[in-house]
Amino acid sequence: MHSHLNDMANHKSALKRIRQNEVRKVRNRYYHKTARTAIKGLRNEEDKTAATEQLPKVIALLDKLAKKNIIHKNKAANLKSKLTKHVNKLA
């Protein structure tokens, strides 16, 4: 994981920055992937009660991602809107 440190920066602060960026990248990727999986699960849900239960959790995930700038706030809003419509359409 840290093999790329040697061929780049010479400053202590820059090395630390590279380490921090790496950790954040991995963490953000995990959050983003988790949210995408949750969205997929909600989209494939046919049962109204289960979907209604999942919706607030998925919305919370999206809000967190938007707050941390992992996804754009408008993208989060669009997804929330579409998912809410989907849940309301279920019989």
**Per-residue pLDDT at 76:** 95
Q: Are 38 and 80 in contact (CB under 8 A)?
A: no
| Tally of domains within the chain | 1
**Per-residue pLDDT at 71:** 94
> What is the domain-level CATH number for residue 71?
1.20.58.110
> Tokens standing for 25?
């990248």
Burial group, residue 65, by CB count within 10 angstroms (0-12, 13-18, 19+): buried
pTM equals 0.75
The residue segments making up the domain with residue 28 are: 24-89
Residue 70 DSSP one-character state: S
- CA dist 65 and 45 (Å) reads 22
Q: Are 83 and 42 in contact (CB under 8 A)?
A: yes
Residue 65 is assigned to a structural domain of this protein: yes
- For 1-91, strand residue ranges (E) read none
Nearest to 61 by CA among 82, 85, 31: 31
> pLDDT under 50 in the chain at which residues?
none
